[in-house]
Amino acid sequence: MANKKSKKPTIAVYKFSSCDGCQLGILNLEDELLDLVGVVEIAHFLEARRQVLPGPYDIGLVEGSVSTPEEVQRIKEIRHSCGILIALGTCATAGGVQGLRNFEDLEELINIVYEHPEFIDSLPNSTRVADHVKVDYELWGCPVNKYQVVEALVAILQNRRPNLPQYSLCLECKRLGNPCVTVAYGMPCLGPIVRAGCGALCPSNGRGCYGCFGPMDTAEVDAFIPVLKSHQRYPGEAVRLLRTISGYAPAFVDAAELILAQEEE
């Protein structure tokens, strides 16, 4: 499916509602990026180059959540023009930071923030790419782990499945020799249910994980809720912890709603 003007497989990188951090992560690959451009054609990547080659493209990477009606139409067009589509980072896989508005009154927020709210055309929620089109691979993280991006692209080029971590953040902590912040300090931590990938950044600095790499596919979230609630340092902390960067991931949405329902009983 490579572009007729290029003998190399073509890659397109797109931005939706986001901060550009995941795209910058790709640019920060430096030496690896130089090797990558030797075997693929970066056909569409406005953060990196001015020239845009016409599609269709072999691989598309989408950073950001789908937050407006215009973006709904655009993601469908991108899906049509890309052979393989990768959701890049937690905005694309779970709504991201802007997904925090999903738990509030959107109209009230718009009226508070914007001088002319009548000009704002927004979806009711900040949504995942997978809510609108078929996604072939999801790479979580805020920002995404740049080496996982390389692994995913190399695996696709080699016609194999990417070798990505299938274990929780706790294993990264153990490998680093970190004390468990829950056991040692009584802090709530999402590490047991969150996928690895950040290098246990927060626990390595003495605070609990707040889940920017999202829930593991095999996470026993419901079973973890009593542990999380038992380490709350103030009322509502467990729900607030679940409703952060990955808060609109279905597993976290369900867990937060379950805790709220329990508290109402």
Residues 49, 130, single domain; the answer is: yes
1 is a domain residue = no
Query: Range of 251's domain?
Result: 169-264
Structure token pair of residue 190: 């999402």
Edge-first strand listing for the sheet containing 137-139: 41-45, 10-15, 57-63, 82-88, 137-139
DSSP state of 102: G
Q: Per-residue pLDDT for 2 more than 80?
A: no
pLDDT tens, residue by residue, 206-240: 999 999 999 999 999 999 999 999 999 999 999 99
Report the alpha-carbon distance of residue 162 to residue 160 in Å, rounded.
6
Q: Per-residue pLDDT for 134 more than 70?
A: yes
pLDDT tens, residue by residue, 66-105: 999 999 999 999 999 999 999 999 999 999 999 999 999 9
Looking at residue 133, what is its pLDDT?
A: 98
Strand-pair partners of 215: 194
pLDDT tens, residue by residue, 170-181: 999 999 999 999
Residues 135, 36, single domain; the answer is: yes
96 is a domain residue = yes
% the chain with pLDDT above 90 = 86
Residues 34, 153, single domain; the answer is: yes
How many domains are there within the chain?
2
pLDDT category at 204 given cuts 50, 70, 90 is very high
Confidence (pTM): 0.90
Three-state SS annotation for 185-197: HCCCCCHHHEECC
Looking at residue 92, what is its pLDDT?
A: 97
Residues 128, 198, single domain; the answer is: no
Residues 174, 229, single domain; the answer is: yes
Q: What is the DSSP string of 232-246?
A: -SSTTHHHHHHSSTT
3 is a domain residue = no
pLDDT category at 32 given cuts 50, 70, 90 is confident
Contact indicator for 44, 14 with CB cutoff of 8 Å: yes
Contact indicator for 59, 1 with CB cutoff of 8 Å: no
